[in-house]
A and B are shown apart, each in its own frame.
Chain A
């Protein structure tokens, strides 16, 4: 070795030991984020059918309003009856498509007399009342349509997308939430299931 040869800086072994762990940690964190994002729900948009709700098993929120006919409506006063609340907007395609099934369901329940479930339509905020009236007169449906001018009921039930349907038992407890369209047979079957559960307890 000559006197003027440039010494090579020693490569520190510690550096080589730490680097793989740093890379591994970064990969693990990225993989964890990927898994969380891939498995998380994108919200209520992808839900159709029976869905969870914080209201299930609890007394239904207070609903005091009026129907389109101007009759006062208080959900608490419906205790003793099975109540089906269908959240609706006359501008919503699935709601319009679902409507004939609700007409059928209503007729089925009326066939049971006083023990049949009561059906109510709950409007969304800002729904044009004239459009709702016209839709019902064109497509049938003689059950009460309840206004929700301040949106309180929609928020209390956590309804973001219509249609949604809730079943409330005679104790005023919310027992089922259905997101999206529902047909009359399914709705009748679900009401009957809840009746059976209710009577068994």
Chain B
């Protein structure tokens, strides 16, 4: 590929990258405004796993234990003494780690967050080197045009020597 073609293509990719980065930055930094107590209870209970049923959150479970946790979360939100994270931590402390739906970002649990990111970076670096190697190898294999060019040059050299 010529350098002119390269120059022609990169602004599109850069533009796409910038647009995606802007959307991501806006999406993550966006303040959705204060939540109502009901919304807080919903958010919190969606982050707690039902302690006795498989694959259900406290928000959706009909189990008495989940009903008790929902009522407790509602009471704690109404009291306004604890943050959302503190309320989740309280429930997890009482019922055990299996009720923690989102893994913690510290200790051994942090591996759950770090490993995929590390795998993504490694995969990206690996792909970069793989593409570069493939490109180099591809460039090293002469095609018919290359052979024709070499034959022509050789013939010209023979003619030159012969003259």
Residues of A that sit less than 8 Å from B by CB: 3-4, 6-7, 9, 12, 15, 22, 29, 41-45, 54, 89, 124-127, 148, 150-152, 154-162
Closest chain B residue to A124, Cβ basis: B64
* A152: chain B residues within 8 A (beta carbon): 68, 71-72, 75
Among the listed B65, B67, B91, B154, which residue makes an inter-chain contact with A161, where contact means beta carbons less than 8 Å apart?
A: B65
> What is the CB-to-nearest-CB distance from B158 to chain A, in angstroms, rounded to a whole number?
12
Number of A-B contacts (CB under 8 A): 80
Helix, strand, loop or mixed for chain A's interface?
Answer: loop
A160/B141 contact (C-beta < 8 A), A150-B71, A151-B72 known: no
Band of interface residues on B: 20 to 34
Residues of B that sit less than 8 Å from A by CB: 51-52, 64-65, 67-72, 75, 91, 93-96, 98, 115, 126, 133, 137, 140-142, 147, 150-151, 154
Separation of A125 and B67 alpha carbons in the complex (Å) = 7
Closest chain B residue to A123, Cβ basis: B64
Whether A148 and B68, one on each chain, are in contact in the complex, defined by CB atoms closer than 8 angstroms, is yes
Closest chain A residue to B147, Cβ basis: A4
> What is the CB-to-nearest-CB distance from B101 to chain A, in angstroms, rounded to a whole number?
13
Q: 10 tightest A-B contacts by CB?
A: A151-B68, A160-B51, A158-B94, A160-B65, A155-B72, A151-B71, A9-B137, A124-B64, A154-B68, A125-B68
Separation of A89 and B65 alpha carbons in the complex (Å) = 11
Whether B115 and A6, one on each chain, are in contact in the complex, defined by CB atoms closer than 8 angstroms, is no
* A22: chain B residues within 8 A (beta carbon): 126
Q: Which of B52, B68, B140, B154 has the most CB of A within 10 A?
A: B68
A44/B52 contact (C-beta < 8 A), A124-B64, A152-B75 known: yes
Whether B133 and A44, one on each chain, are in contact in the complex, defined by CB atoms closer than 8 angstroms, is no
Q: Which of A6, A9, A45 has the most CB of B within 10 A?
A: A9
> What is the CB-to-nearest-CB distance from A93 to chain B, in angstroms, rounded to a whole number?
14
Whether A7 and B94, one on each chain, are in contact in the complex, defined by CB atoms closer than 8 angstroms, is no
Among the listed B52, B140, B147, which residue makes an inter-chain contact with A9, where contact means beta carbons less than 8 Å apart?
A: B140
Among the listed A6, A124, A154, A155, which residue makes an inter-chain contact with B142, where contact means beta carbons less than 8 Å apart?
A: A6
Separation of A6 and B137 alpha carbons in the complex (Å) = 12
Separation of A144 and B75 alpha carbons in the complex (Å) = 26
Whether B71 and A125, one on each chain, are in contact in the complex, defined by CB atoms closer than 8 angstroms, is yes
> What is the CB-to-nearest-CB distance from A13 to chain B, in angstroms, rounded to a whole number?
13
Among the listed B51, B70, B72, B150, which residue makes an inter-chain contact with A44, where contact means beta carbons less than 8 Å apart?
A: B51
Among the listed B51, B65, B93, B151, which residue makes an inter-chain contact with A54, where contact means beta carbons less than 8 Å apart?
A: B93
